[in-house]
Structure 1
């Protein structure tokens, strides 16, 4: 399974490279910002959002001049959730290689509304926190506890202050990311939910 996902990731990267090199009127950019993430589970608690970082590169190509654009990106996204209980508080962090594809509609070439889909591959997992007794802990955990592949929908909006772009985006996961043998989540479905704020430099 891991070999298959690594192969798929390589294919997606090569496809993105081919897409960006063939388009003649592309705008290219680098972007980064803040993630606020959580899990959709049987008992959602949006008060316990985990903060993380995201960064990457993207290209934006006009399909209809000054109106409709196609945007493809590739980057790192730190997701996860905070979990509170009687025994203490823990923060579960998941690092993904993420590939979003979105259609973007321009309004007066200043405001852009976007929507599309994303696919991502799990790179790392870790847990940290504090017990009820005040002891801190931090450790990497096996990515085998989670499914390698995640996918879902993405919507957002941004404004262009050339050469800067400022925007927000929301990622809604459609995949249950918990592996069946993960004891702490046995029988419970969990999906990624991530809100992003970002700044990009476009050229």
Structure 2
């Protein structure tokens, strides 16, 4: 736990340093939209996507003229998965404080391709669903069932229609996020997989 917090603090510090040292040249913005998330697992073939929300602040700093930029973000991202079993459908929701750092490459003045990495820290967890009998349920669950720290790769594309930005992005989690034996994931590994669509306002 302490090592996890230490690693996340380093990542957060890197983002804050990037914000402060590049402030004079950077463009800033706020972005938000939808997450369509699932888990990569070895033994679970379910492909139902969970829909969640994400919102963040970001800084975009030119590195090479108007061609290459560094984009640093900090915000909240709702991930998780839907699971169908013999007892009904269950939705597992995981909320993360997330820090993506990406390089953005301009193609013309309209299209930008981006790639980089992200680090995130688990804030909350919830399980909800409906039984075969039609009864609904929703409960917060302990975050101890999951690893505190997640990280991975990110790729995406966006178009700038100043001051609006419209884009899509994919996050590929690298570590197993299951800490203990939890429900349908007993004894197996799961990694976050998230497709993101967003709209941003840049100033």
Q: What TM-score bracket applies, with the shorter chain setting the length? A: over 0.9
Aligned partners of 2:144 and 2:180 also within 8 Å: no
Rounded to whole Å, the distance in 1 between the matches of 2:41 and 2:10 is 32
Structure 2 segments unaligned to the other structure (5+ residues): none
Structure 1 residues 183, 52: CA separation in 2 closer, same or farther (over 3 Å shift)?
closer
Where 1:9 maps in the other structure, the secondary structure is: helix
Partner residue of 1:140? 140
Runs (4+) of structure 1 exceeding 4 A deviation are none
Q: Deviations over 1:131-188 (max 9, x none)?
A: 0011110000000000001111100000000001000000001010011443542221
Rounded to whole Å, the distance in 2 between the matches of 1:83 and 1:45 is 7
Is 2:71 aligned against 1:57?
no
Rounded to whole Å, the distance in 1 between the matches of 2:50 and 2:13 is 32
Matched length: 201
* 1:110 CA drift (Å): 1.1
Q: Deviations over 1:26-74 (max 9, x none)?
A: 111100000000001123332x100000001011111101111111100
Alpha carbon RMSD of aligned pairs, Å? 1.3
Is 2:176 aligned against 1:176?
yes
TM-score, L = length of structure 2: 0.94
Partner residue of 1:20? 19
Aligned partners of 2:46 and 2:84 also within 8 Å: no
Rounded to whole Å, the distance in 2 between the matches of 1:105 and 1:196 is 19
Partner residue of 2:161? 161
TM-score, L = length of structure 1: 0.94
